[in-house]
């Protein structure tokens, strides 16, 4: 029998809540986790794409292993309702992926106050609210995992990205302090820092890839493989980590001439 394409159920029985899961990286995470045995909550403000994804996942599995929750990540009430729906549907919560985020341009002078506040509210405060709502239930499992999606803009400075970079650096700090705060509860907290990944969010950006040692952008499935590992028990001794997945972009100055 050819078993190469059969799932090995690396997260069998786990229940995972994913924000911003209707498209892009979030949708890829949901499909990857479901294919490896997890039950997933597709949480997003975009109703129809999220519902379509839930139908796709359930059809592929032949079972009701995915549900949709409308989630506004800037509202704690919306977060608590989403977590309660998760518990009602599946009885527990093993993993949280704070994936929802937006991008706005502009430096500290030119970025609008509206863009600044909205970016911080969604990218940073939304991550905090998700953790706040989920931790009481994650604690009950004795061993659980939070994956906060930051960016390489949360590891190094990015020109004309004041709000976005500030928010993503904030996610890094929140992750590291929370890893210490909740380790005794068996809750692991890690951040991942994608670089140039092909998603609808950045499809319109004009970029060169010469700064990436591997020479090409990443695929959402590359990020999903890392998320799968961090949600699974394979990473049970990893917490407080900040993992770049960027083809080497933050390793150093790849464009500097050597001769």
Mean pLDDT across the chain: 92
2: pLDDT confidence band, cut at 50, 70 and 90?
A: very low
> How far apart are alpha carbons 223 and 2 in whole angstroms?
26
- The count of domains in the chain is 1
Whether residue 36 is contained in a domain is answered as yes
Whether residue 88 is contained in a domain is answered as yes
Q: Which domain holds residue 236?
A: 15-195+209-245
pLDDT surpasses 90 at 95: yes
Contact present, 169 and 126 (Cβ < 8 Å) = no
Whether residue 136 is contained in a domain is answered as yes
pLDDT tens readout for residues 206-216: 555 567 777 77
Whether residue 77 is contained in a domain is answered as yes
Whether residue 259 is contained in a domain is answered as no
Helix, strand or coil for residue 34?
helix
Percent of the chain with pLDDT over 90: 81
CATH of the domain at 146: 3.40.50.720
> How far apart are alpha carbons 14 and 89 in whole angstroms?
13
Contact present, 161 and 50 (Cβ < 8 Å) = no
Whether residue 166 is contained in a domain is answered as yes
Residue 1 has what pLDDT? 37
Contact present, 159 and 110 (Cβ < 8 Å) = no
Catalytic positions are 164
Mean pLDDT of 150-156: 95
> How far apart are alpha carbons 188 and 168 in whole angstroms?
19
Whether residue 252 is contained in a domain is answered as no
pLDDT surpasses 90 at 124: yes
Higher pLDDT, 76 or 256: 76
Helices and strands counted in the chain (H then E): 7, 7
What pTM, to 2 d.p., does this model score?
0.92
Where do runs of H (alpha helix) occur along the chain?
24-35, 47-61, 76-90, 113-119, 126-139, 162-181, 220-231
Whether residue 254 is contained in a domain is answered as no
């Amino acid at each position: 029998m050819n078993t190469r394409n059969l799932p090995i159920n690396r997260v069998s029985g786990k229940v995972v809540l994913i924000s911003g899961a209707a498209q892009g990286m979030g949708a890829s995470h949901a499909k990857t986790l479901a294919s490896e045995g997890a039950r997933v909550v597709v949480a997003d403000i975009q109703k129809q794409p999220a519902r379509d994804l839930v139908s796709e996942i359930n059809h592929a599995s032949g079972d009701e292993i995915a549900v949709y929750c409308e989630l506004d990540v800037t509202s704690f009430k919306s977060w608590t309702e989403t977590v309660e729906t998760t518990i009602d549907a599946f009885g527990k919560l093993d993993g949280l992926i704070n994936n929802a985020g937006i991008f706005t341009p502009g430096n500290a002078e030119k970025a609008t106050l509206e863009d600044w506040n909205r970016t911080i509210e969604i990218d940073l405060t939304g991550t905090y609210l998700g953790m706040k709502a989920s931790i009481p239930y994650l604690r009950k499992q004795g061993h659980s995992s939070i994956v906060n999606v930051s960016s390489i803009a949360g590891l190094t400075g990015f020109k004309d990205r004041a709000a976005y970079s500030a928010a993503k650096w904030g996610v890094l700090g929140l992750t590291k302090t929370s890893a210490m705060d909740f380790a005794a509860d068996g809750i692991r907290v890690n951040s991942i820092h994608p670089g140039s990944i092909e998603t609808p969010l950045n499809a319109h950006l004009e970029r060169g890839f010469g700064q990436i040692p591997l020479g090409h952008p990443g695929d959402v499935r590359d990020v999903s493989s890392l998320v799968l590992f961090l949600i699974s028990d394979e990473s049970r001794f990893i917490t407080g980590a900040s993992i770049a997945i960027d083809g080497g972009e933050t390793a150093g100055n790849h464009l500097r001439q050597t001769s």
